[in-house]
Structure 1
Amino acid sequence: MQEKKHRGNLATDKRVSRAKGIDRVTLTYDKDNMMCYFYLEKGSNLEMHTHIQSQSGIVIKGHIHFIKGDGEVLDLTAGDAYYFASNDPHGSKILEDTELIECFSPSRDDYKD
C-alpha cells in the first residue's frame, strides 16, 4: 500500500465498489488527508456507520439524504456541502443518481487502493 498519491484522474483511476450501487475512486491522499469521488445509484443505501476520520463533502449532482445518529436528515442536492465529525454516526439514502466529492482526515487506510 502506498503512503502518498499526489495525482488522481476520474477517467483512468480504479473505480471500486463500496457497497451495492455505491462506487468510489480514491483520487489523492497522504497520511493526513484523502479525497475521493463517489458514484451513487438511485435507490442505494449506506448503513449507519462511524469512523475515526472527519468527513466533509459536496454534492456534484443528484439528491441524497444523509441520516445522522440523532435522526436528523440532511436533504442535499447539487452544490450542497456537509461535514461529519470523527465518530459521528451517519448513513444515507440515495434519491437520484448522485455524485459526491468527499475528503477524510486522517486518510482511510481501507480506501488506499
Structure 2
Amino acid sequence: MSDFPIVSTGENVSRQVLSDHPDLMVVVFRFDAAGAEGALHNHPHVQSTYVESGRFRFTLGEETREVGPGDSFVVPSDQTHGCVCLEPGQLVDCFTPRRDDFL
C-alpha cells in the first residue's frame, strides 16, 4: 500500500502516487463514475498509461481512441491529452521524470 495520500482531481476522479524516484513515478488514477473526466492538458513528462480496469475515450493530440482493460499507450512530451470515463475503472500512469507537482 502506498504511503502517499489519495488526492481528488475532479468529480469522481482521484489519484494516488504509488512509487516515485527522481527519474520515474507510478500513479494510479481512479474513475468512480461514467462521465468522469481527465481534463485535456499537457506536460513535459513522457507518460505511459496502462488501463487496469474500466473503459475510457482518450484524446491524444488530434486522435481519439477507446481503450479498455489491458490496453496501454505512450503520451509523448507536451502532447495534449485527456479522457472521458465510459465505465468506472483505474488507470496506472508512469511518468519520466517524476511529476514533482504530484508530491
TM-score using structure 2 length: 0.91
Match of 1:75 among 58, 61, 66: 66
Give the letter for the 1:64 counterpart. F
The SS at the match of 1:99 is strand
- The match for 2:22 is 31
**Structure with bigger gyration radius:** 1
Q: Is the 1:48–1:69 Cα contact (8 Å) retained in structure 2?
A: no
Identity of aligned residues (%): 30
In 2: Cα distance, 1:47 partner to 1:78 partner: 21
Instruction: Point out 4+ residue stretches in structure 1 off by more than 2 angstroms.
Output: none
Unpaired runs of at least 5, structure 2 = none
Q: Is the 1:37–1:100 Cα contact (8 Å) retained in structure 2?
A: yes
* Higher-strand-fraction structure: 2
Aligned CA-pair RMSD = 1.3
TM-score using structure 1 length: 0.84
The yes-or-no answer on 1:51 pairing with 2:43 is yes
The total of aligned residue pairs comes to 102
Unpaired runs of at least 5, structure 1 = 1-8
- The match for 1:84 is 75
